[in-house]
Copies of this chain bind each other. A is one copy, B any other.
Amino acid sequence: MGAMKHQDDLFAFLSIPGVSAEAEHAADCERVADFLVEKLTTLGFSATKHMTKIHPIVVAHSPKVEGAPTVLVYGHYDVMPVDPIAEWKSDPFKPEIRDGRIYARGASDDKGEIMCHVLGAQEIIEEDGKLPLNVIYLFEGEEERGSYSLHEFVQDPEVQKDLACDVIVVSDTGMAAPDIPSLSYGLKGLCCFELKVEGPSMDLHSGIFGGAVANPITTLCEMIASTHDADNHVTVEGFYDGVQEIADWERESWARVPGASDTELAALTGVPALRTETGYTGTECAYARPTLELNGISGGYEGEGSKTVIPTHAIAKMSCRLVPGQDPVDIMKKVEAHFRKVCPPSVRMTYTMQHAGDAYIVDPHSPFGKAAQQALEMTFGNPPVLVREGGSIPIIAEISKKLKKDALFLGLDLPDARIHSPNENMRVEIFEKGIEMAKNLLRLMAQVK
């Protein structure tokens, strides 16, 4: 087999170890940004590297096409750390094709997907001499560490003017199966908080004081248990205020998502059975029902064997995934009020609010949404499943809010792409179809009036 089309470009891009979270890779992050600026400049774009407090942001404008729509394509050039490095079958920064897959850190998330968009534009320029519409690329280098600089960047009215567009396109989400494309039109919101329950001022002997003093672990467990009823509804007062019911067309679309039945989700996750909110499938809960999850708990003796103490305190780390209609800060306050209500007088509680991000939803049947659906169907041979993301990408919600335009998610991460894990990969077929999809998308969106 000869070299894959565009292999040199992709491999050069994947070879630069732009791990945003690791200080020793700061210069590499800048090198990735430089690579993009150079590549886009070669294609005739006006490309700029904006320096930030952390890693640069790349903004590139195609030559102006009067009267045509403007599409902003978001992506992130930074990648996750590679640990555990011993589990990689090949060097994460020496891309390699094996068995029809490109292996490298960032092969899918998100360098591979950025390259599909850039190379799609390149092929159109090569074929037609120019793009049929205005394209803005916005590539950041901090997505895997919280998008701090981009969040700052888009607060600037001048930047908002520079990024003014008609629609935002993102390829940084999942794809159901190689022949079943996915269009995501919603993201969950998120808020994180911590609950600490404090009892005695020192660890107590469980014999001398047991039965007299509230056990902070037991009390914390009781408080946590009070957050859900037997139907797995969250019992926090007002939690569901403003939450929209799932529409019939959504239920129908989600039932088509491959691998997303309750039986398949149980097999995928290794649980003996799902436990969903009564009246909803697992996928419906993940896409469109708000949740309150325990992410961590600790307290007392956690070592080998036993130590019969009543500990001074116990802590739980929690988060809510939210849906449109819920305000993350409002929800954190409601959760606090719930805990204050159920907290017994025998302990002290401390509640700490951490970060928060809004949920996000757009209409996938808008003119640009329809163009995206059509581009996916043309490329992959099947209409896309219309899904929502269970995950949260707060920076997209923020950009969309600032630019006042919809963001559409055309995902190319297959379930077996191993993003964030060792042996991350992208199928060669998906890379090639991704380029095709980007071409179809730009041509179809050019026709939106």
Contact = CB atoms under 8 A, between A and B. Distances in A.
Copies of this chain assembled into the complex = 2
A207 B347 contact: no
A346 B215 CA distance: 27
A323 B57 CA distance: 68
A69 interface: no
Contacts of A301: 295-296, 317
A144 to B, nearest CB: 13
Contacts of A372: none
Contact of A221 (B220, B285, B293, B298): B220
Contacts of A305: 354
Interface in A169-218: 174, 188, 190, 192, 194, 199-202, 204-215, 217-218
A129 interface: no
How many residues of A sit at the interface, in one of the four size bands?
35 or more
Contacts of A280: 211
Contact of A300 (B220, B269, B317): B317
Interface of A: 174, 188, 190, 192, 194, 199-202, 204-215, 217-222, 224-228, 232, 262, 265, 269-277, 280-283, 285-286, 289, 291, 293-303, 305-311, 314-317, 319, 321, 344-348, 354-355, 389-392
Given A211-B232, A211-B285, A301-B317, 17 more contacts: A174-B208, A200-B269, A201-B270, A208-B390, A211-B277, A211-B286, A211-B289, A212-B262, A213-B282, A217-B316, A218-B225, A221-B225, A221-B294, A272-B348, A296-B299, A296-B303, A298-B299
